[in-house]
Chain A
Amino acid sequence: MRWVNRRIRRGNRILLGAIPILLLVLLYLVIAAGRHAANPNDKILPLPGGMAEGMSALLFQPDQLSGQFIFWADTFASLQRLGMGLGISTLSALLVGLLLGVLPPVRATFGPLVTGIAVIPPIALLPILFIAFGLGETAKVALIVIGIAPFMIRDVAAHIAALPREQIVKAQTLGASSWQLMLRVALPQAMPRLIQAVRLSLGPAWVFLISAEAIASDIGLGYRIFLVRRYLSMDIILPYVAWIALLAIAMDMLLTWASRRLFSWAHGEEH
């Protein structure tokens, strides 16, 4: 049978997907064990025991200075920034994308501006944001928004503009005004695409969050990673990175589930 025709059953799919991950973990353990055999104080590739030891202080013991559980405080601060950035971006993508996609005069007026903003590397704007908004939360959230909102706006607008012309004409022959067309035809059909855009923006959003935290912050997952780097604390950095990956996967799965649940018509289910 040709490889293009091979279908993998669900059970086998999970098994196959796990193999490379397990192999990588095994490879790491073998190399780390080798290094520790040569030098029991090796900091570069910590063993799981070392990581657990390093993390337990951050997880379960309150910080002497602030009284906070550092790991949870970092997670909360980062998720708050990420959530605000994603929330503002999603809302503006929906609103602006809808107007750009449905109304040609708005597209003609603001389309070039959105495109212009989208091509600027957001990190290049970070100094401006720090100068304008100070070193607090606003600048970090603004960096995420500037980083991902233009892409999301353009994606949603393009999706709406590509709705079949027949649908738009049909809605008008059913008496729909521009407003009704936006509300009942364009908006619901933009929603699954919007969720898709959020999913694709999660990666860049994390990049901008970690960058902002690395440069100016006193709390957050990115801040902690860059802080402990000074002490070569790989036993902290690696669990933090794994935690960030887990959070990102959980968000992605949540969004996929929500899209299938709320907009089943867009996923070709129940056929």
Chain B
Amino acid sequence: MGQPPPVLMGAWRGALSALLSLRGVWVEYGDKVVLERVNLDIAAGSFVSIIGPSGAGKSSLLRVILGQEVPTRGSILLDGIPLKPECGPDRGVVFQRYSVFPHLSVLRNTVFGLECAQAPFTARLFGARRRAAIAEAEEMLTAVGLGDSLHLYPAQMSGGMQQRLAIAQALIKRPRILLLDEPFGALDPGIRADMHALITRLWRDYSLTIIMVTHDIREAFSLGTRVLTLDKRRRDPHAPHRFGATAVYDLPLAKQAPPIGNDDESIKLDDVSNN
């Protein structure tokens, strides 16, 4: 992945090769339709915010992309290859809570991903490989601002620090896509602002592709290069559960190519299209 490419208005879909594609994705639980006919192309290097009312299937969409759930219909392609219906190291995730391991220190939480890949049987590293993994983890933890807290346990840290750890843990695997499920929803406003700055910096420095579900519309527009709004396009008053949500607004934001200095985030509404 190179630098996140500049957003080209009007040529949004054609010019950019899609990293992740959703083709006619439906998610149904029993006879309740949650998502219907979702078609999406997400370009490498983009920061996609997903907003929408409660129950509009934001988290379901994220879980489907993550591989935690299998769509009822449709297919999901990563680099043109259909995804396995399972979570894997190509898609990192940060949940609102519980995404760090309470029994491991900060450093060991972060090294865990490297240990899994390099030691299939023991899931532990020794000697030079262990030192290399620890050095890599320390570097990543320093990048998220936890360089001084390597030996704390999650229960000893604030919510913001735990989310920093969860991000470092995910990024050490260099995932193709980083999925954030309301990652800052449980944090104080001041800490949230710090976390916004952090995630923006990491997104630029590591050329990440990020999909973030959020309740906070300001957050969605200030962080994202593209904002998707999920909602039901059709409603049946007698059977509201029979129609699912889909992306009703798809707003590319004109952000300059990183690194950017200004915070000009003009919103272009002319490209609204119902996928």
Name A residues whose Cβ lies closer than 8 Å to a Cβ of B: 164, 166-167, 169-177, 179-180, 183-185, 188-189, 263-266, 268, 270-271
Q: Whole-angstrom distance between the alpha carbons of A268 and B155 in the complex?
A: 7
Contact among A167, A179, A183, A265 with B99 in the assembled complex (CB-CB below 8 Å): A167
The 10 closest A-B pairs by CB, nearest first: A174-B113, A172-B87, A164-B98, A166-B98, A175-B89, A175-B116, A180-B123, A166-B95, A265-B153, A188-B103
Residues of B within 8 A of A175 (CB): 88-89, 113, 116-117, 173
Residues of A within 8 A of B93 (CB): 169-170, 173
Name B residues whose Cβ lies closer than 8 Å to a Cβ of A: 66, 68, 86-89, 91-93, 95, 97-104, 112-113, 115-117, 120-123, 153, 155-156, 166, 169-170, 173, 175
Q: Whole-angstrom distance between the alpha carbons of A266 and B153 in the complex?
A: 10
The answer to whether B155 and A184 touch across the interface, beta carbons within 8 angstroms, is no
Residues of B within 8 A of A176 (CB): 112, 116, 123
Closest B residue to A168 by beta carbon equals B87
The answer to whether B87 and A271 touch across the interface, beta carbons within 8 angstroms, is no
CB of B117 to closest CB in A, whole Å: 5
Q: Whole-angstrom distance between the alpha carbons of A265 and B105 in the complex?
A: 9
13 A-B contacts, Cβ less than 8 Å apart?
A166-B98, A170-B169, A172-B86, A172-B87, A173-B66, A173-B88, A174-B112, A175-B116, A176-B116, A184-B112, A189-B101, A189-B103, A270-B153
- Contact (A265, B92) CB under 8 Å given A166-B97, A180-B120, A185-B101: no
The answer to whether B68 and A169 touch across the interface, beta carbons within 8 angstroms, is yes
Residues of B within 8 A of A170 (CB): 93, 95, 99-101, 166, 169-170
The answer to whether B102 and A265 touch across the interface, beta carbons within 8 angstroms, is yes
Q: Whole-angstrom distance between the alpha carbons of A270 and B122 in the complex?
A: 29
Q: Whole-angstrom distance between the alpha carbons of A38 and B173 in the complex?
A: 83
Residues of B within 8 A of A188 (CB): 103-104
Contact among B117, B122, B170 with A173 in the assembled complex (CB-CB below 8 Å): B170
Contact among B89, B100, B156, B166 with A270 in the assembled complex (CB-CB below 8 Å): B156
Q: Whole-angstrom distance between the alpha carbons of A271 and B122 in the complex?
A: 31
Q: Whole-angstrom distance between the alpha carbons of A176 and B112 in the complex?
A: 9
Residues of A within 8 A of B104 (CB): 188
Q: Whole-angstrom distance between the alpha carbons of A180 and B153 in the complex?
A: 21
The answer to whether A173 and B103 touch across the interface, beta carbons within 8 angstroms, is no
> Would you call the interface of chain B mostly helix, strand, loop, or mixed?
loop
The answer to whether A271 and B156 touch across the interface, beta carbons within 8 angstroms, is yes
CB of A151 to closest CB in B, whole Å: 24
CB of B133 to closest CB in A, whole Å: 13
The answer to whether A173 and B87 touch across the interface, beta carbons within 8 angstroms, is yes
Q: Whole-angstrom distance between the alpha carbons of A180 and B102 in the complex?
A: 16
The answer to whether B155 and A173 touch across the interface, beta carbons within 8 angstroms, is no
- Contact (A167, B101) CB under 8 Å given A174-B113, A180-B116, A271-B155: yes
The answer to whether A173 and B92 touch across the interface, beta carbons within 8 angstroms, is yes
Contact among A164, A172, A266 with B88 in the assembled complex (CB-CB below 8 Å): A172
Q: Whole-angstrom distance between the alpha carbons of A184 and B215 in the complex?
A: 33
CB of B114 to closest CB in A, whole Å: 9
Residues of A within 8 A of B123 (CB): 176, 179-180, 183-184
Q: Whole-angstrom distance between the alpha carbons of A83 and B88 in the complex?
A: 43
CB of A141 to closest CB in B, whole Å: 32
Residues of B within 8 A of A173 (CB): 66, 87-89, 91-93, 170, 173, 175
The answer to whether B116 and A266 touch across the interface, beta carbons within 8 angstroms, is no
Closest A residue to B119 by beta carbon equals A180
Q: Whole-angstrom distance between the alpha carbons of A180 and B92 in the complex?
A: 18
CB of B94 to closest CB in A, whole Å: 8
Residues of B within 8 A of A268 (CB): 155
CB of A176 to closest CB in B, whole Å: 5
Residues of A within 8 A of B175 (CB): 173
The answer to whether B98 and A179 touch across the interface, beta carbons within 8 angstroms, is no
Residues of B within 8 A of A266 (CB): 102-103
CB of B158 to closest CB in A, whole Å: 11
The answer to whether A169 and B113 touch across the interface, beta carbons within 8 angstroms, is no
